[in-house]
């Protein structure tokens, strides 16, 4: 297991470097720049601004200096937020995004898995059809639509919840954005859990456990659930990426001070250092979650654990 973990950690480094490199050069290749809106400034002033942010140097040289700063733990100053460094902005916005995203993902995993298992245990009955219909609706309707609908319904019409702002991260301010993030992920997880549980319930060892006279709840919890969760673990890393990507839209709609909102503003204003810093945060999160998913395989499946030990 330790060799497997070390090998995966070593693979993560060039993967992250490839993502950062591609993102850096694609941003520089896109039309426009951070000071294009300041056309009224004198050419000398614009040249000084470009020099202050090292944008007057060749792109390969900019990339080398960027990597050098990253190795020192310095992501550079933000262009759009002149009084802040990129590290400071991430430190401000990351706790908000993490609280929002992890709350949504935890609820989606718990509720989606439970609904999927219930649907599988009531296969081709009314409860199964109802859960499957709700799941397909959740998959089909994007967050960009559900968030304004929830805002209009619970914030504007019934005035039950605030439609924007973070407050202190209390329940009332988190309710609508978390719900908008939960719905599509819950739907996907419910579908995965249902299909996986149906497949496991037909396995010989489950039929043997039932034939041995074990209570149904024990058969489900001890013998069927662990292998049925493996496909859900495979979905874990993309789900994290999906929640974080979805939070970019949600943070804009609800005016939340998370890194997603900074990412959108930075991309629109060509704030290169800010966008690159957030790309690194997102990429690292996805790679770490992939590693955790691989380790969870070994916990849920003894055969996978043996292969890891032998690797």
Please determine, for residue 242, whether its predicted confidence score (pLDDT) is greater than 80. no
Please determine, for residue 38, whether its predicted confidence score (pLDDT) is greater than 70. no
Residue 161's pLDDT band, with cuts at 50, 70 and 90, is very high
Which part of the chain has CATH 1.10.3720.10?
Answer: 86-310
Please determine, for residue 84, whether its predicted confidence score (pLDDT) is greater than 60. yes
* Contacts (Cβ under 8 Å, ≥6 apart) of 150: 176, 179, 180
Spatial distance between the Cα atoms of 36 and 56, rounded to a whole number of angstroms = 14
CATH of domain 86-310: 1.10.3720.10
- Supply the pLDDT for residue 177: 93
The single-letter DSSP state of residue 54 is T
- Element of type H or E holding 304: helix 302-310
What's the start-to-end Cα distance of the chain, in Å? Answer: 8
The pTM of the whole model exceeds 0.85: no
Spatial distance between the Cα atoms of 182 and 187, rounded to a whole number of angstroms = 8
- Supply the pLDDT for residue 101: 87
Residue 66's pLDDT band, with cuts at 50, 70 and 90, is very high
Residue range 196-200: mean pLDDT, rounded: 91
Which of the pair, 243 or 159, is modelled with greater confidence?
Answer: 159
Backbone phi and psi for residue 75, each to the nearest 5 degrees, phi listed first: -90, 0
* Contacts (Cβ under 8 Å, ≥6 apart) of 202: none
- Supply the pLDDT for residue 304: 60
Nearest by Cα to 272 from 71, 42, 65 = 65
- Supply the pLDDT for residue 303: 62
- Supply the pLDDT for residue 34: 86
């Amino acid at each position: 297991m330790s060799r497997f973990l070390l090998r995966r950690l070593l693979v993560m480094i060039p993967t992250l470097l490839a993502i950062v490199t591609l993102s850096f050069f694609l941003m520089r290749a896109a039309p426009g720049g951070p000071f294009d809106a300041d056309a009224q400034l004198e050419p000398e002033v614009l040249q000084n601004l470009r020099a202050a942010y090292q944008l007057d140097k060749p792109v390969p040289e900019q990339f080398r200096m960027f990597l050098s700063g990253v190795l020192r733990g310095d992501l550079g100053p933000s262009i759009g937020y002149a009084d802040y460094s990129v590290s400071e902005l991430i430190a401000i916005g990351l706790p908000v995004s993490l609280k929002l995203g992890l709350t949504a993902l935890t609820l989606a995993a718990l509720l989606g898995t439970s609904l999927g298992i219930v649907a599988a245990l009531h296969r081709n009955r009314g409860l199964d059809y109802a859960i499957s219909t709700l799941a397909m609706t959740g998959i089909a309707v994007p967050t960009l639509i559900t968030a304004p609908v929830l805002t209009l319904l619970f914030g504007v019409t019934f005035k039950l919840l605030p439609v924007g702002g973070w407050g202190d991260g209390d329940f009332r301010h988190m309710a609508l954005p978390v719900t908008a993030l939960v719905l599509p992920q819950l739907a996907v997880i419910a579908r995965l859990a249902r299909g996986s549980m149906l497949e496991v319930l037909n396995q010989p060892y489950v039929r043997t456990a039932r034939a041995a006279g074990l209570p149904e709840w024990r058969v489900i919890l001890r013998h069927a659930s662990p292998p049925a969760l493996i496909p859900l673990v495979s979905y874990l890393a993309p789900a994290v990426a999906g929640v974080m990507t979805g939070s970019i839209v949600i943070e804009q709609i609800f005016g939340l001070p998370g890194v997603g909102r900074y990412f959108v503003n930075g991309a629109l204003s060509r704030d290169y250092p800010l966008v690159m810093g957030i790309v690194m945060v997102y990429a690292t999160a996805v790679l770490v979650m992939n590693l955790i998913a691989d380790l969870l395989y070994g916990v849920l499946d003894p055969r996978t654990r043996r292969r890891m030990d032998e690797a």
